[in-house]
Amino acid sequence: MTQARPVYLKLRDQIAAAIIQGDYAEGAMLPSVRALAAEEGANPLTVAKAYQQFQNDGLVEVQRGVGMYVVKGAADALRKREREQFLAEEWPEIRKRMKRLGIDLADLVAQS
């Protein structure tokens, strides 16, 4: 069962994925709050809240009047954090489900 997540966290996850994948490289400017809100059909305050988390975590820096930029090392930091979260929160549930369904790692490797 999937829990409903706040929109700002979903946006945060989308932006984090884009940074990890290199869509927003180190030094790249993120879309403005208004532009991303329009693109995603979200409230600008919701986008601002998602961006604020990145700023609080030191993953972006703001240049007043210019924009928000991805800092050096942001992709590695996000990748590390997401990996740790996956292993701590998601992987245990996946392992339980695999056990219930009688799937082992060899079956998964054979499928890829």
What 8-state DSSP symbol labels residue 37? H
Instruction: Give the integer Cα–Cα distance in Å for 65 and 76.
Output: 27
What ranges do the domains of the chain cover?
7-111
Does the domain at residues 7-111 carry the CATH identifier 2.60.40.10? no
Q: How confident is the model at residue 1 (pLDDT cuts 50, 70, 90)?
A: very low
Tokens of 77: 């930091």
Q: How many CB atoms lie within 10 A of CB 33?
A: 20
Task: Give the C-alpha distances (Å, rounded to integers) separating 54 from 8, 71, 81, 98.
Answer: 12, 10, 13, 34
pTM for the full predicted model:
0.82
Give the pLDDT score at 3: 63
Percent of the chain at pLDDT > 70 equals 97
**For residue range 35-74, what is the model confidence (pLDDT) as tens digits?**
999 999 999 999 999 999 999 999 999 998 899 999 999 9
Give the pLDDT score at 77: 97
Instruction: Give the integer Cα–Cα distance in Å for 93 and 46.
Output: 30
What's the mean per-residue pLDDT of the chain? 92
